[in-house]
């Protein structure tokens, strides 16, 4: 049993940190690819990146470092890394009594070092280090979380937020590469970028060799049951977190959120990549995103903002 407000904060800590890590990884990979200047690569192509982090503004692409600054530090950009870390920390500050001191200190240290990096300036000369700082900081937080916080309901809410964010963001990223009008030929550097943005390159190669083929990439990122950044893996975690939460609160009676998560997980368990690609992949991926949004709504209805009348003793 948790305060609803606390559950909500923990859920958002999970979501915001997942988002911060993803943005950091996306920008890092994008800047790195830009340096290679492959003949068939888009060079400083920020268009996908910008639509990924849901910025409307078309990138002017004059100075890639300035563009990446928007994605890391711009306070008016809610998907910027610093904004996400700050929001996670604010949520953590409001549930200080529920999380361990180590967790708080790691998150606070990440927040402070980002702030310091910005104040000192000059990070854009070697931008890779700031992304490393963020990714390492978040990994450290996650490791400390697993090792110092009981894996009870609060922990499950953190997992729920993290994997729900991951499922919907990975689906959106795959979508951006598989829309009919956007699809690129096999071997294009963008495919490499896609895998690396999901830190999936090494795992993919181990599974399919370094032969980068779009349908295999789609299969790996959507349907692989073992790789922790695939949508299927994330959906399985969302489902198990929800099952654990309902077991701890309503005695396992389940509910709408659990049912939706189970259905999403099953559709990925029994999905076939050739079927997905032969029909319109965009429609399939949008369905996944819609499921994620519905699960979010159902969690709020069951645990966070339920009507009081229904909960009062008779």
Q: Are the beta carbons of 98 and 154 closer than 8 angstroms?
A: yes
Q: Are the beta carbons of 15 and 165 closer than 8 angstroms?
A: yes
Candidate list 32, 34, 104, 216; residue touching other proteins; CB under 8 A: 104
Candidate list 18, 21, 142, 153; residue touching other proteins; CB under 8 A: 153
Q: Which of residues 231-260 bind other proteins (CB under 8 A)?
A: 245, 248-250
Candidate list 7, 27, 49, 114; residue touching other proteins; CB under 8 A: 7
Candidate list 61, 93, 149, 277; residue touching other proteins; CB under 8 A: 93
Q: Does 313 bind other proteins (CB under 8 A)?
A: yes
Q: Are the beta carbons of 244 and 170 closer than 8 angstroms?
A: no
Please report where in the chains the tokens 């939460």 appear, as a residue: 245
Q: Between 293 and 312, how does the x/- string for binding to other proteins read (CB under 8 A)?
A: ----------xx-x-x--xx
SS3 state at 211: coil
| Cβ closest to other proteins, residue 67 vs residue 95 | 95
CA distances in angstroms from 138 to 61, 218, 249, listed in the order given: 29, 26, 29
Which residue, among 61, 77, 70, has the nearest Cα to 27 in the 3D structure? 70
CB of 49 to other proteins, least distance (A): 27
Candidate list 37, 54, 58, 96; residue touching other proteins; CB under 8 A: 96
CA distances in angstroms from 173 to 59, 183, 298, listed in the order given: 18, 13, 24
- Please compute, for residue 82, the number of CA atoms within 13 A of its CA located in the half-sphere on the CB side: 19
Binding stretches for other proteins (CB under 8 A): 1-7, 90, 93-97, 101, 104-105, 108-109, 112, 153, 245, 248-250, 303-304, 306, 308, 311-313
């Amino acid at each position: 049993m948790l305060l609803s407000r606390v559950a909500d904060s923990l859920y958002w800590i999970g979501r915001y940190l997942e988002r911060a890590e993803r943005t950091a990884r996306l920008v890092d990979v994008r800047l790195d690819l830009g340096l290679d200047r492959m003949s068939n690569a888009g060079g400083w192509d920020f268009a996908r990146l910008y639509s990924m982090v849901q910025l409307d503004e078309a990138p002017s692409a004059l100075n890639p470092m300035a563009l990446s600054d928007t994605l890391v530090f711009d306070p008016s950009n809610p998907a910027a890394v610093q904004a996400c870390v700050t929001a996670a920390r604010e949520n953590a500050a409001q549930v200080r009594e529920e999380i361990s001191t180590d967790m708080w200190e790691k998150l606070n240290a990440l927040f402070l070092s980002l702030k310091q990096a910005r104040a000192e300036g000059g990070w854009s000369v070697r931008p890779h280090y700031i992304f490393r700082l963020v990714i390492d900081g978040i990994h450290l937080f996650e490791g400390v979380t697993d090792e110092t916080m009981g894996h009870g309901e609060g922990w499950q809410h953190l997992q729920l937020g993290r994997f729900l964010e991951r499922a919907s963001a990975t689906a959106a990223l795959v979508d951006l590469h598989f829309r009919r009008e956007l699809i690129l030929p096999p071997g294009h550097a963008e495919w490499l970028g896609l895998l690396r943005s999901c830190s999936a390159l090494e795992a993919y190669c181990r599974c399919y060799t370094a032969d980068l083929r779009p349908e295999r990439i789609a299969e790996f990122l959507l349907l692989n049951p073992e790789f922790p950044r695939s949508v299927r893996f994330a959906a399985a975690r969302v489902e198990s977190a929800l099952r654990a939460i309902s077991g701890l609160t309503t005695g396992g009676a389940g509910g709408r959120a659990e049912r939706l998560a189970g259905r999403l997980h099953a559709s990925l368990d029994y999905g076939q990549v050739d079927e997905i690609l032969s029909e319109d992949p965009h429609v399939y991926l949008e369905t996944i995103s819609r499921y994620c949004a519905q699960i979010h709504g159902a969690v709020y209805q069951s645990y966070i903002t339920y009507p009081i009348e229904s909960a009062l003793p008779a």
